[in-house]
Amino acid sequence: MAKKDTQLPDLPEPYEYVDTLGSGSYGVVVLAKDATVKDPEKAKVAIKIIRAPQKMQVQAVARELMIHGAIKHPHIVPVHRCFSTEEHIGVVMEYIRGGRLFDMVNNVGPFPEAKARWIFRQLMDAVRYIHKDMNSMHRDIKLENIILADAKKQWPTIYLCDFGFARTRGPQFGPTISCVGSPNYFAPEILLRNAKNQRYDGKKADIYSCGACLFVMLFGFYPQGVVTKDRKAGKIDVDSIYIEIPKVQRQRLHPGHKEVPIGPECLNFLSQLLEPDPEKRLTLEGIWKDRWFRDNTHRRRRKVAAVLGR
């Protein structure tokens, strides 16, 4: 068991501190165990601890719990319960053991199309549920917020997490004005706003962020590292990436990784996801109709391999 940070609060029963998983401006995420569960693996939980909640922080946490706590989806990290003290709020979640997708890309380099598509489909299934069933927007979709359940498998299962910036959309909530999320995954309409109070559609921005995740999985660097002739318009010319962009400008997560070949259907799909004009950007309906997205070649190969292995 790792040594506990003295600044961390005592966890309520039946939880016992095991290790610190990560930290940020919001607070910290710790690994803990439920003392009432006998199986040591099943006893593990992840607890997000938010420090010293002020009025706005309390509202944000309440919004996160309202949205995340109501979600039941196979590709979204489940929330078990919450607790609060005078100085902290805790969110108890299922512990997913495989680590972050960001770390996997950073360690192994760009993915082949089939693997990137496998992961992207799961992500889009979660996002479709958030947008359609929950009428909400995540607003911080990034590889760092995607957790792997089985990182060593060729076809891993993923979970979307961290709903700290999520927001419900309804009659009382119009297009958002908040500049939240992570700059490397920002949609152009957020980065290129003329005024801080200029509104944008958070759901369409989520689609762009999903495209940025797919881009990083395939190329190993961020879309914002791509410099093109239409830079001012936020245009990313994915068809010309290999020709126009010197390697020194690519801002790779890990410079030693090799490129993987990307086909024209995939590049076309990416260009529609990363369309700078949100009104022209690919919609959820368009994503599910896309030929590259629907390709099932790898699934057929898995079935054949399973039959031959009998």
d(CA 157, CA 252): 25
The pLDDT, as a whole number, for residue 258 is 67
Residues 231 and 258 in one domain: yes
Model pLDDT, residue 296:
82
Residues of the domain holding 85 = 15-94
Do 137 and 61 sit in the same domain of this protein? no
Q: Which H or E run includes 91? A: strand 88-94
Asked if the structure places residue 212 within a domain, the reply is: yes
With a CB cutoff of 8 Å and minimum separation 6, the contacts of 214 are: 116, 120, 270, 273
Do 109 and 64 lie in a common domain? no
Give the pLDDT score at 236.
Answer: 59
Q: Which of 105, 195, 176 is nearest to 146 (CA)?
A: 105
Report in angstroms the alpha-carbon separations of 284 from 72, 125, 210, 263.
20, 10, 11, 22
List, for the chain, all residue ranges whose pLDDT scores fall below the cut of 70: 1-6, 24-25, 52-65, 170-181, 193-197, 224-258, 298-310
What pLDDT, on a 0 to 100 scale, did the predictor assign at position 196? 63
Sign of CA dihedral 173, 287, 252, 158: positive
Please pick, among 125, 140, 201, 277, the residue that the annotation labels catalytic: 140
Residue 310 lies in a domain: no
> Is the same domain home to 84 and 156?
no
Whether residue 52 lies inside any domain: the answer is yes
Angle of the 113-128 helix axis to the 297-308 helix axis, nearest 10: 110
Same-domain check for residues 151 and 277: yes
pLDDT of residue 2: 59
Does some domain include residue 226? yes
Q: What is the pTM of this model?
A: 0.82
What does the pLDDT read at residue 307?
A: 43
**pLDDT for res 207:** 97
Query: Residue 193: how many CB atoms within 10 A of its CB?
Result: 14
278 near 201, Cβ under 8 Å? yes
* Under 8 Å between Cβ of 95 and 47: no
Last residue of some domain: 71, 94, 117?
Answer: 94
CB 234 within 8 A of CB 188: yes
Quick one: 136 and 243 in the same domain?
Answer: yes
Give the pair of three-digit tokens for residue 46: 């992840």
Whether the CB-CB separation of 263 and 113 falls below 8 Å is answered with yes
Residue 156 has a pLDDT of 96
| Number of domains the chain is built from | 2
The CATH number covering residue 60 comes to 3.30.200.20
What distance lies between CA 78 and its chain's CA centroid?
Answer: 15
Cα–Cα distance, 238 to 196 (Å, whole number): 29
Structural domain ending residue among the three candidates 75, 94, 113? 94
- Neighbouring CB atoms inside 10 A of 287's CB total 22
Same domain? For 193 and 251 the reply is yes
The answer to the question of residue 308 being in a domain is no
Are 174 and 258 part of one and the same domain?
Answer: yes
Active site includes 140?
A: yes
User: Is residue 296 included in any domain, yes or no?
Assistant: yes
- Domain assignment present for residue 135? The answer is yes
Q: Is residue 30 domain-shared with residue 58, that is, in the same domain? A: yes
The CATH number of residue 136's host domain is: 1.10.510.10
Q: Where is the domain boundary, 94, 115, 142?
A: 94
* 165 shares its domain with 221: yes
**What is the gyration radius of the CA atoms in the chain, in angstroms?**
20
The predicted pLDDT at position 81 comes to: 87
Tokens matching residue 204: 């369409």
- 289 shares a domain with 146: yes
42 and 132 in one domain? Answer: no
Q: Is 48 annotated as a binding residue?
A: yes
Domain assignment of residue 306, yes or no: no
